[in-house]
Amino acid sequence: MSQEEKIISSRCVFNGYIMNVEVANVELPDGRKTTREIVRHAPAVALLAIDDDQKMILMRQWRVAVNQATLEVPAGKVDDRDRDTVSAANRELNEETGLAAGELTKVSSFYSSVGFSDELMTLFLARKLVPVAHKLPQDNDENLQLIKVSLPKALQMIQSGEICDAKTIMAIYYWQILTLRGEH
């Protein structure tokens, strides 16, 4: 039996700067009707940026949604300035860290929260980091603190709950896999 839910109608209930929210009326495979709340979000990028000392770059910033400071990999949405996810990744790395990647490799694309959002995030591995000649300004509302941590420290920070952001945890576990394979 198909699991597809058919959208009968939908309406936008919120138009924001970062996201839009829709309420969709859907028909379930068995004919019953229900509603789904959907967050529409631009594609986004995240960067596992590892320097020559085998330390990853994290950004500490306050997140009002969870009422705490979080540690996250550099990340941001793809916007009108970007040709694609690669150019967005390069821009975000510049804006947030003042660095450029001599080597940028796509790791994976994934939905950040499939239960209610269509945000598709692409994770990149950034290596051979060098300071940029021209630093782009951070977004006006960003207050970021750059920190560097080793893989063992990052894993410890996940265990302690100090790192609690899903994309960042995914990036760290990917780094651990690379290290176990001897590809660090």
Q: pLDDT tens digit string along 80-105?
A: 999 999 999 999 999 999 999 999 99
Cβ atoms within 10 A of the Cβ of 52, count? 9
Cα–Cα dist 129/34, whole Å = 49
All domains in the chain, ordered by first residue? 6-41 (no CATH), 44-180 (3.90.79.10)
Partners of 134 in beta bridges: none
Its pTM stands at 0.94
Query: What stretches of the chain show up as alpha helix (H) in DSSP?
Result: 85-97, 151-160, 166-180
pLDDT in tens, 129-170: 999 999 888 878 878 999 999 999 999 999 999 999 999 999
Beta bridge mates, 25: 9, 35
